[in-house]
Amino acid sequence: MKEALPTANMGLGKICLYLERMASKSLTFMVLTKVFFSFVTVPLIALLLGSFFSFSGRKMVFDWGFLNLADSFPGMVIFMTVAFLWLLCFSFEQSGLVRFSSAALKNSEERVVSVLKRILRIFPRLLGLAAFKAGILLLCAVPAFRILPALGRTFTRQLPVGTYPSVGTGAFGWIAAMLSLLVVSRLLISWVFAIHYAVLEGKTFVGSLKASTNLVNGSRKRVLLTMLAFWPLSLLLIIANSTVFRVSRDFVIRSSCDPTSMNILKLSVFASVETMITTALSIGVSVIYSILMTRLFYELKEGYSDDEATSVTNPVKTKSLTLQRPWILPLLIFLAIQGVFFGYFGRFLVDSEIELPLVTAHRGSSFKAPENSLSAIRAAFEDGADIIEIDVQMTRDGILVLNHDRSLTKVAGVGERVHNLSFAEIADLDIGSRFSKQFSGERIPTLAEVITYMTKIPSSVRLNVELKDYGYSPGISEAVVQLIKEMDFSDRVMITSTSIERLSAVRELAPDISIGLIVGYLSSSVWNADVDFYSVPSTILNQRFIQRARSLERDVHVWTINNTEAMSRYSAMGVASIITDRPDVLSRLLLSQAQMSIFQLRVLSILMT
């Protein structure tokens, strides 16, 4: 076994010695190539992925369903193109590292400029290698794509929300997938030295593949054991890094009561830092792997021993590996740029219009607590709502209270209407017992009480006040605006109504307050109204409505969506907010979509690293 593994008799000291010889120059080369690919190749890959996602009829594919599209001809073309670009980037980086590793093993000097010139001269061969590998590997790997959704369901935490392909993976599919993985593995091992032949001996891409296959055929076990000795440890390191970030991220999100939009921002921040560290790990892994495989290449081909190369140094005293100071700052700057690039700004590469909708709690968290109650409002905040929607009516004596229906029958069992009662007559009504004994004694809150509570929670949570006077309180617009101004709450409130007249009064009194028209049916008055957004029922909302609203620079809120499938559909359509009785479910769904979106961005990150 020891003879089969060059790493077994190579020793950590020699690895550190080779790293010492090539560290600064190889680091410079890696930073230069990664910066280039970050701003040239990766945006192109992102554009292709964005085009691929659009074949689903959505702006983004948030689940494993995108694998189903790989069966289509456009999907195959795009996947092959992306694979080609990735292999081209990988081949370019590995070509440079092979040159530096060869120089380090032979104790010779290699300049960054000369390496770049050498790679550019053989660039057509790298193109051929990348194209050929992409085509063959992709054709062999397509059956394996079909088992990924099943593996995802098996090994990932089951969320109560989210969508997966309904097509199952039969026995034939599993057999085909396993065979394809075996073929891909064999080809990867056979072609492991193709870049070495192209870079060090100048062979054509076909000649490089043949020479690598012939070299490996005589020592396949040794090559396989070398790869197995290196890659599992490297993968464990990367998995450990990802696990630490996942656990930390989940803990931070669970321990806070921030709205969903803030938690999505936290996901982006964690993704940025994780990408930075993953990039640093990938650079180290790539350099060490290049040293091991280049040494193995010379051993198998020439019976090479590096004893002579290391005789100029003292093999007993191993120098500690240090980076020269001039190279540390560029590396840190690059990692920071790369982390931000993929963790936050990278989402705009896929589709500049992708925005997850805000969570609006309909009458508070009305599934968990009595609608339009303080308990429902508190529950909505705890469930991660970005916006809390309430219905406001005016009592006979001018007090603004919360209630939706014309009468109080539903919430309190009283057939009277709010505008016919004084606040004193309403104040003692129990609206909790009819919902659950747990809420026995719950009272109808005033708008002032709600705003007072809102001032105690994060300012990122906003209030949607729907004017619900049913035509009996013509002064409700003035009363609501006056109270909002008195309590200095204008910057956290939006006002909605079915009445353009009521909204016009709000606009005249408080131009800084956002107003939205609740659309019951379509007419020309909808588009002529001076409003900031539309609140639209799901029964009449379609993509054409959203496009027309956007042409007028107006957002669209959709109501009332409690089904996760519909939530996913409207999220993909690009609405600004989804109004729901289940903000807890919608929040979890959007977080899972954000994680999937970040997973797709990680794909871009992996393509670069």
- Sign for the CA dihedral angle at 573, 574, 579, 582 comes to positive
Task: Write down how long the chain is.
Answer: 609
- Sign for the CA dihedral angle at 468, 471, 575, 274 comes to negative
| DSSP class of 75 | H
- Sign for the CA dihedral angle at 241, 599, 341, 255 comes to negative
| Residue 393, helix vs strand vs coil | strand
| DSSP class of 69 | G
Query: Residue 183 burial by CB count (10 A; 0-12/13-18/19+): exposed, middle or buried?
Result: middle
Q: Would you say 466 and 391 are in contact if contact means Cβ atoms under 8 Å apart? A: yes
| Residue 428, helix vs strand vs coil | coil
- Give the Cα separation of 306 and 309 in Å (integer): 5
Phi-psi region of 560 (alpha: psi -120 to 50; beta: other; left: phi over 0): beta
- Among the listed residues 274, 271, 449, 286, the one whose alpha carbon sits nearest the alpha carbon of residue 373: 449
- Displacement of CA 532 from its chain's centroid (Å): 29
Report the greatest alpha carbon distance in the chain. Answer: 101
What type of residue sits at position 124? P
Joined together, the tokens standing for residue 527 give 């588009």
Query: Out of 196, 404, 419, 557, which one is annotated catalytic?
Result: 404
Query: Residue 312 burial by CB count (10 A; 0-12/13-18/19+): exposed, middle or buried?
Result: exposed
CA dist 300 → 95, 251, 294, 379 (Å): 19, 50, 10, 67
* 362 noted as active-site residue: yes
* 557 noted as active-site residue: no
- Active-site positions? 362, 404
